[in-house]
Structure 1
Amino acid sequence: MRVFVTGSTGFIGSAVVRELQEAGHQVLGLVRSDANASALAETGAEVHRGSLDDLDSLRAGAAATDGVIHTAFNHDFTDIAAAAATDLAAVEAIGEVLVGSGRPLVIASGVGALHKGRPSVETDVADSTEPMARRMQSEVALLALAERGVRTSAVRLPPSVHGEGDHGLVPRLIQIARDKGVSAHPGDGENRWSAVHRLDAARLFRLALENSPAGRVYHAIGDQGVPVRDIADAIGRHLGLPVTSVARGDEAVRHFGWLGAFFGNDVQSSSALTQQWLGWRPTGVGLLADLEQGHYFKAL
């Protein structure tokens, strides 16, 4: 299968590209810069120049391939509404090309806005009052395309997709600890974050592309819930810093910035249905074991 991959040189997208190639698929990867074009070409994938803002480039990439995996997202959490609007427009543009074709379209989504108080499951829908729920608009639009002849599926990702080269939320927490001189957690730190190794996530994207029926939602979850206090403890130990609690609310926002509210959320998730439906099993190390390997704490 010839597959169009957005975010093809990103942390998750590059793992998806490698996963697809190892399974015998050809990849057409979306890139913006010359540097990323060179990096992608070195993998043996074909380069497609464009961006999420260039809807014509997205349509052209989708039209030239047998299926699409959409992993690109502007992770500007200071303006999640704008990032979500860009993502929605991208999904709709790609979907327009695939209507009536029966070809697969797999997108990245998230579990951050799902029900709290228990592990979220694949059949849950987002709390519309959550700021993070804005990203879920793309998932809603995607599932509507299932009624129009597109074999759609969404892979919901946890707060931490970890592994060497991670530049997401956990590295941000590490940098905050370095800057502040303490490794902190909100309140008692008993709220939990789900997590997955990026290679496990990449394999799930491939399985969804190859085997998913239309309209399915999957959870890329390895760790169902890691107490955030344990994350803070690991960071403090590796950096030789004290571990402390900060009050939730305004104090957490002052300490962590935009990450303050989200780090205090309980984001437990289950992948039981995903494992049943696709035969996917997470095999990579868990988040805490990954932190113990030390690569997160190499000098910048």
Structure 2
Amino acid sequence: MRVFVTGASGHIASAVIPELLSAGHTVVGLARSDRAAAAVSALGAEVRRGDLDDLDGLAAAADRSDGVIHLAFKHDEMRTGDLMGAVDADLRAIEAMGAAVKGSGKPFIGTGVTLGQVIAGFRGRLTEQDALPGGPRIDAENAVVAFAEQGVRSSVVRLPPTVHSLGRYSLLGGLIEIARARGVAGYVGDGLNGWPSADTRDVGRLYRLALEGAPAGSRLHAVAEEGVTLRDTAAAVGRRLGVPVASIAAEEAEEHFGFLAGFVGLDNPVSADHTRRTLGWTPTRPGLLADLASEGVA
């Protein structure tokens, strides 16, 4: 297949693109800057210049492809406090690309986040069958799933907050930077809340399997470990950085953790049983704590 990948210079794409190429697919990667274009080209993909605000360009690229993998999100805006602006831009981009492939039967793989369901009110062990009617990033997830009713083989890969490998740690990376800057690896309260995780290379393989065979309208979980406690994670970070580990009181969380304060205390147990059965996906890479111990974060 000729596959159009957004977010092609990002962390997840660094595993998705090599996985696709090794399976014989051709990749066209979206790049919004010279630096991003160089990264995409270095991975072996064809470069298409543009960004999430170029709706006509996104639609044209989707139309000319045999499949779409949408990884891009305006993370910089989220970090600076404009989460809803990033969410709205994501939804507009999805709608533009979805309209371009309507009735084609092409695979369209969107990206969701397991924590999004918790933020929107879900409680308990999240499965692939659990979905909420709306909320930040959930509207985009639901839009992708709904493309299945319009002749698109659409699916969504929900990412855990910690996608890790080779010194990169997704949302956890922000907590690592805070620990380095403040000289303490922190968690909120007793720290027994857990975040799911997976190695980036296992995640890349799941996107490829979804492109090739995910059922239309499916939700998939890129989760190797259901939930590593934040206390254990902070302890591993503290050992690696050589800083103390401490509980941060809930009332001090915003001052200590900044934009991550709303996430660090959340509990997010997640099952990937259905994903593994449906696509034969079996994570094989090391777990988060082993990764932190062996590769390090310094």
Shared topology, TM-score over 0.5?
yes
Structure 1 alignment gaps of length 5 or more:
none
Listed as ranges, the matches of 1:46-57 within 5 Å are: 46-57=46-57
Cα 1:59–1:16, aligned 2, differ >3 Å: closer, same or farther? same
In structure 2, the residue matched to 1:95 is 98
Shift of 1:117: 4.8
Structure 2 Cα separation of the partners of residues 164 and 150 of structure 1: 35
In structure 2, the residue matched to 1:35 is 35
In structure 2, the residue matched to 1:124 is 130
Shift of 1:146: 0.7
Structure 2 Cα separation of the partners of residues 243 and 44 of structure 1: 42
Structure 2 Cα separation of the partners of residues 165 and 296 of structure 1: 6
Structure 1 Cα separation of the partners of residues 213 and 20 of structure 2: 13
Shift of 1:213: 1.7
In structure 1, the residue matched to 2:275 is 274
Spell out, residue by residue over 1:74-118, the C-alpha distance to the aligned partner (whole angstroms, 9 max, x if none): 112422111110100011000001001000100111110325553
Deviates more, 1:162-171 or 1:193-202: 162-171
In structure 1, the residue matched to 2:73 is 73
In structure 2, the residue matched to 1:234 is 236
Structure 2 alignment gaps of length 5 or more:
none
In structure 1, the residue matched to 2:256 is 255
Structure 1 Cα separation of the partners of residues 253 and 39 of structure 2: 39
* Paired amino acid for 2:83: I
1:24 aligns with 2:24: yes
Say which of 72, 80, 85 aligns to 2:88.
85
Contact kept, 8 Å, 1:113 with 1:126, in 2: the verdict is no
Structure 2 Cα separation of the partners of residues 167 and 156 of structure 1: 16
Listed as ranges, the matches of 1:143-292 within 5 Å are: 143-166=145-168, 168-248=170-250, 250-292=251-293
Spell out, residue by residue over 1:193-220, the C-alpha distance to the aligned partner (whole angstroms, 9 max, x if none): 0011111111111101100121000000
Shift of 1:49: 0.9
- How many residue pairs get matched? 292
Structure 1 Cα separation of the partners of residues 178 and 44 of structure 2: 37
* Paired amino acid for 1:104: P
| Cα root mean square deviation, aligned | 1.4
Structure 1 Cα separation of the partners of residues 225 and 215 of structure 2: 26
Structure 2 Cα separation of the partners of residues 165 and 68 of structure 1: 28
Structure 2 Cα separation of the partners of residues 121 and 160 of structure 1: 17
Structure 2 Cα separation of the partners of residues 227 and 203 of structure 1: 25
Is the partner of 1:24 in helix, strand or coil? coil
Contact kept, 8 Å, 1:185 with 1:229, in 2: the verdict is yes
Structure 2 Cα separation of the partners of residues 104 and 61 of structure 1: 14
Contact kept, 8 Å, 2:236 with 2:289, in 1: the verdict is yes
Is the partner of 1:214 in helix, strand or coil? coil
Is the partner of 2:136 in helix, strand or coil? helix
* Paired amino acid for 2:108: L
Spell out, residue by residue over 1:138-177, the C-alpha distance to the aligned partner (whole angstroms, 9 max, x if none): 1111122111101100000001111115263222112211
* Paired amino acid for 1:256: F
Shift of 1:127: 7.6
Q: Identity percentage over the alignment?
A: 48
Structure 2 Cα separation of the partners of residues 125 and 59 of structure 1: 27
Say which of 139, 153, 173 aligns to 2:141.
139
Contact kept, 8 Å, 2:186 with 2:246, in 1: the verdict is yes
* Paired amino acid for 1:277: T
Is the partner of 1:11 in helix, strand or coil? coil
Contact kept, 8 Å, 2:7 with 2:72, in 1: the verdict is yes
Is the partner of 1:29 in helix, strand or coil? strand
